[in-house]
Amino acid sequence: MTSNTDIEVAVQEATATLRRGGIVAFPTETVYGLGADAENPEAVARLFMAKGRPADHPVIVHIGDAEQLERWAVDIPPSAALLAQRFWPGPLTLILKRDARVPDAVTGGQDTVGLRVPDHPVALALLAAFGGGIAAPSANRFGRLSPTTAAHVRTDLGEAVDYILDGGSCQVGIESTILDLSGARPRLLRPGVITADALEAVLGEKLAGPSGNAPRSPGALPSHYAPRTPLVLVPPEDLAAEVVRRLEKDERVAVLARSVATPQIEWLFLSGSDFTECAWQIMPADPDGYAHELYARLHALDALHADCLLVEAPPAEAVWQAVRDRLARAARARLD
């Protein structure tokens, strides 16, 4: 186990890296972020280059506490303070009108900025030591699986990162909920573990959904969060037949399921060559547990270099919205 002294030293090194315009991968409760000084356009440009991220795609600015909102945003509605009091630190990003200090490189040239306070002790220590905002998308190549461990970052980005701050495995496991407060009505731009129902309970009104007039936000592209292995979402009632069909065609099949394999499928797997034990992964039955495990399991299955990755579609219920969103975008990537 890493000692407190080791973490303090690592935070100091990460802080020094940010201050000289470097790029630092750091843990949050959602996924690992790839961070740069949010007030340094050159550093942010390096971050975009490392990810291969389009220049018009905004990034979230991570701040140390809600009191810093006024340093980054203007015309802040009262609802922002209510939501910050209830959900920060935590996996909620608020889209607000940007202050003039925010570089275009961070916002994709828009008049809005995404802000959040992460709920991870290492991230909060880094923000406190740095004393400013850290612009940070997920620490992976653009469009690929988000990282939930430092090892995922190393594998995907390697030497493109100046410093990796290892804080263990991320607790939540998928990206933050994104709520737009820059317009006349609160608008949900990306679902997350903080649900629409929870937000509506605080706001006392219904949320609008994404629209053509809404700000561009992270994770909103149809194709995103994708493994390199083609991912196919399969209805639960069709999963067994689809696995059998592909195995009988001598395809190497990896499966992410919420149910156990049938005896026939087990026999087909075991009668194959060396592609056996890790090829069928059973996920937790609850949405939070599933979200926590999702990217880690997809990273593991992707490393098998199968011909396809079949995913048993989660239930079509509101509590599964965030998980279904990530999987739908990952499945769409095989068509692009």
Please tell me whether residues 69 and 196 are part of one structural domain.
yes
Angstrom distance (rounded) from CA 205 to CA 214 = 18
Please tell me whether residues 263 and 199 are part of one structural domain. Answer: no
pLDDT average, residue stretch 154-170:
95
124 band by pLDDT with thresholds 50, 70 and 90: very high
Cα angle: 199, vertex 200, 204; to 5 degrees: 130
Q: Which of 156, 185, 203 is the last residue of a domain?
A: 203
Regarding whether 274 and 138 lie in a shared domain, the answer is no
Residue 34 has pLDDT above 60, yes or no: yes
Residue 261 has pLDDT above 50, yes or no: yes
pLDDT above 70: residue 79: yes
Statement: residue 58 has pLDDT above 80? yes
Residue holding tokens 């995922």?
152
Reported residue count of the chain is: 336
Residue 270 is encoded by which pair of tokens? 């075991």
**Residue among 156, 129, 136, 130 at smallest CA distance from 145:** 156
**Lowest mean pLDDT: which of 29-33, 248-252, 264-268?**
264-268
- Whether 215 maps to a domain, the answer reads no
Span 130-149, pLDDT tens digits? 999 999 999 999 989 999 99
What CATH code is carried by the domain that includes residue 40? 3.90.870.10
> What CATH number does the domain containing 331 carry?
3.40.50.11030
Instruction: Specify if 264 maps to a domain.
Output: yes
Which pLDDT score is estimated for 209?
85
180 and 278, same domain (yes or no): no
307 and 185 within one domain: no
* pLDDT value at 178 more than 70: yes
What DSSP character marks residue 222? S
What is the domain count for the chain?
2
Decide the pairing of beta strands 253-257 and 308-312. Answer: parallel
What lies within 8 Å, CB to CB, of 242 at 6+ separation is: 232, 234, 310
Same domain as 156, residue 10: yes
Write out the residue range of the structural domain in which residue 309 sits: 231-335
pTM above 0.85, yes or no: yes
Average pLDDT, the chain: 91
| Same domain assignment for residues 189 and 95 | yes
- For residue 218, being part of any structural domain is answered with no
CA 298 to chain centre: 13
- 223 assigned to some structural domain: no
Q: Answer for the pair 180, 220: CB distance below 8 angstroms, yes or no.
A: no
Is the same domain home to 57 and 168? Answer: yes
CA 290 to centroid of chain Cα atoms = 14
Confidence at residue 220, expressed as pLDDT on a 0 to 100 scale: 63
Listed in sequence order, the DSSP H helices in 231-320 are: 236-248, 263-270, 287-302
Point out the domain boundary residue: 187, 203, 219. Answer: 203
Give, as one character, the DSSP assignment of residue 236.
H
Order of strands across the sheet that contains 253-257: 231-234, 308-312, 253-257, 280-282
Q: What is the pLDDT of residues 210-246, one digit of tens each?
A: 876 666 777 666 566 889 999 999 999 999 899 888 8
Region 87-108 average pLDDT = 96
pLDDT in tens, 263-317: 767 666 666 555 554 588 899 999 999 999 999 999 999 999 999 999 999 999 9
Measured between alpha carbons, how far is 247 from 14 in angstroms, rounded to an integer?
A: 47
Instruction: Specify if 210 maps to a domain.
Output: no
Residue 122: pLDDT band with limits 50, 70, 90: very high
Read off the pLDDT band of 1 (50, 70, 90): very low
